[in-house]
Every structure is written in structure tokens, then in C-alpha cells.
Chains A and B, each alone.
Chain A
Amino acid sequence: MANVLETIVEKKHYSFINGEGVTWQEAVRLSALPLVEDGSVSEDYYKQIVACIEKHGPYVVFEHNIAMPHTTENPEGAYKTGIGFMVSENMIDFGEDEDGEKKEANLFFTLSAVNSEEHMNNISQLMDIFMNDDLIDALGKCRSAEDILEAMKKYPCDNE
């Protein structure tokens, strides 16, 4: 199976923003842009993700300031399975969760799920990445595609 970070670089599904004063809605839109550019998702696809977070709260923001904005499998406006990876220099504010805890993110993995098998593979690799603290730290400092590949080589995830 192809390494998801490698695929992100190969398909140019990455972006880097400063993020100062950017709303989470805008951040979600920006994170999906590389997917829009190669026809993986429609321009409006991100709106479904925003609506979902507005409805259910920022439960897509995990520990270590990782956001995984996503919708269902085979949603309208999603044409190819992929991950829009985005690093923001500044934290993006997602408001508070159900316990009044502040949620913010600087790492975005925005999902488009069309092909079940590819999506499953993406999710399990992302889990390994999210639990690899050194790699997450390094990814937060990435400012280029080369940085992503370097971080990936320096802190590999052990695949069981």
C-alpha cells in the first residue's frame, strides 16, 4: 500500500498557510483546495464538512491539534478518495467542545472518501500518524513538500 504522506506529496494534495485570523470554516475550505484543483472534489464539497461541524461540534479535532474534517463515504461532490493535507503556522480556532474545552488545530487532514478500500487504508495509516508524536511535531513544522518527505523518513510509522 502506498504511504499516505508520499501520496499527498505526489498528488500535490498539500498546502501551507499562515493562518492568522483565518476562521475554521475558511481553513476547511483552504485545506480542500488541492483536492478541488485536481478534480478529486467539487468546489462546494467543503460546505458539507462545515455544516457537519456546525451541527455536531468540533469532534473532528483530535489531540495534538490535529483536525480531520470529513463527511460520509461517497458524499455529493466527492469524486476521488484523497487527503487534503494542510499546515497552518498559527492555530485555527474551532471553538469549544461539549465539555467547554478549547479546540484548535494547526494540522489538517481533510478527507474525501469514495473508494472504500483506499479510504480504509488512508484511515489506518492516519491513525498511525496521529499516534506518532514525533512525526506530528515534525509535520507541524513543515513548510514544503520536501519537509513532509523528510519528516516521514525521519519518523516512520511502524506498520504492524
Chain B
Amino acid sequence: MSKLDGKRILACCANGAGSSLMMEKAIDKVMKKYSAKPAELRHCPISEGKSAARNYDIVFCAKTFTKNFEDVGDKTIVIPLKNVMSDKEIEAGLQEAGLLD
């Protein structure tokens, strides 16, 4: 069992075609490594992510987009990434959020 089981995860970047897709793939790698089974993992552009974010448990974004999620609400954890491909950063962010042991 993982604390990430059943979670809804979103990866956001400017266009939803490049960096967010890389993020999604890197997150997926981490999920597999920890045998976690999130209910949903998808990527989208920031324009969509801004309003969609509150329906997700965890939102990953390139650091430069963090300010777009300021008013997302307490239920959503926002994890900014400096390097969108870094599984180490993803793991560290999840650990800090108390979602990885």
C-alpha cells in the first residue's frame, strides 16, 4: 500500500505538450518504483491546469508556473520542479508532502 494510491495527479507546463509530458513520464516512473497506484495521472497546459488544479490531490509544475496555483486551496498539494525530468526532485517533493515513506 502506498499513500499515493487513489490520488489524482496533474502535471502542468505552458503548453501541455513538452515539459508536462516529460513530467508525467518521470512521475509515472516514480509511481512504478514505489508500486503506487494513483487513480489518475495526466498532463495539461497551464491555462487548463489553473482551473483544473483544485480537482487534483497533487499538482506538479515547472517552478516558473508556481504562482499560477497560489489560490488553489488547501486540498491540493503543489510541487514545483526545477528540473521536470528529475525523479529525485519528484521523490523529494512527495516526501516533503508526507506522501512517500
Are A60 and B19 interface neighbours, CB within 8 A? yes
A59 to chain B: which residues have CB within 8 Å?
Answer: 13-14, 19, 62-65
- For B53-78 the 0/1 string (1 means CB < 8 A from A) is 00000000011110000000000000
Are A56 and B25 interface neighbours, CB within 8 A? no
Are A56 and B65 interface neighbours, CB within 8 A? yes
User: Which size class do A's interface residues fall under?
Assistant: 20 to 34
Cβ-based interface call for B30 (8 A): no
- Interface-located stretch among A13-21, A29-37, A119-127, A142-150: A119-127
Cβ-based interface call for B38 (8 A): no
Are A52 and B26 interface neighbours, CB within 8 A? no
- Specify which of B17, B19, B62, B65 is in contact with A73 (CB 8 Å cutoff): B17
Are B26 and A72 interface neighbours, CB within 8 A? no
Cβ-based interface call for B35 (8 A): no
- Specify which of A97, A120, A131 is in contact with B21 (CB 8 Å cutoff): A120
- For A64-107 the 0/1 string (1 means CB < 8 A from B) is 00001011110000000000000000000000011100000000
In the complex where A59-B13, A72-B45, A98-B64 touch, is A111 in contact with B18 (Cβ < 8 A)? yes
- What number of B residues sit within 8 Å (CB to CB) of A? 19
Closest CB in chain B relative to A51 CB, distance in Å: 11
In the complex where A59-B64, A98-B64, A120-B21 touch, is A73 in contact with B16 (Cβ < 8 A)? yes
B15 to chain A: which residues have CB within 8 Å?
Answer: 52, 70-73
A135 to chain B: which residues have CB within 8 Å?
Answer: none
Compute how far the CA of A70 lies from the CA of B62 in the bound complex, rounded to whole angstroms: 15
Are B85 and A62 interface neighbours, CB within 8 A? yes
Are B18 and A56 interface neighbours, CB within 8 A? no
B11 to chain A: which residues have CB within 8 Å?
Answer: none
Residue of B nearest to A71 (CB): B15
The interface of chain B, by Cβ under 8 A from chain A, is 13-19, 21-22, 25-26, 45, 62-65, 83-85
The 10 listed contacts between A and B (C-beta, < 8 Å) are A52-B15, A56-B64, A59-B64, A59-B65, A62-B85, A99-B63, A113-B18, A123-B22, A123-B25, A126-B22
The interface of chain A, by Cβ under 8 A from chain B, is 52, 55-57, 59-60, 62-63, 68, 70-73, 97-99, 111, 113, 119-120, 123-124, 126-127, 130-131
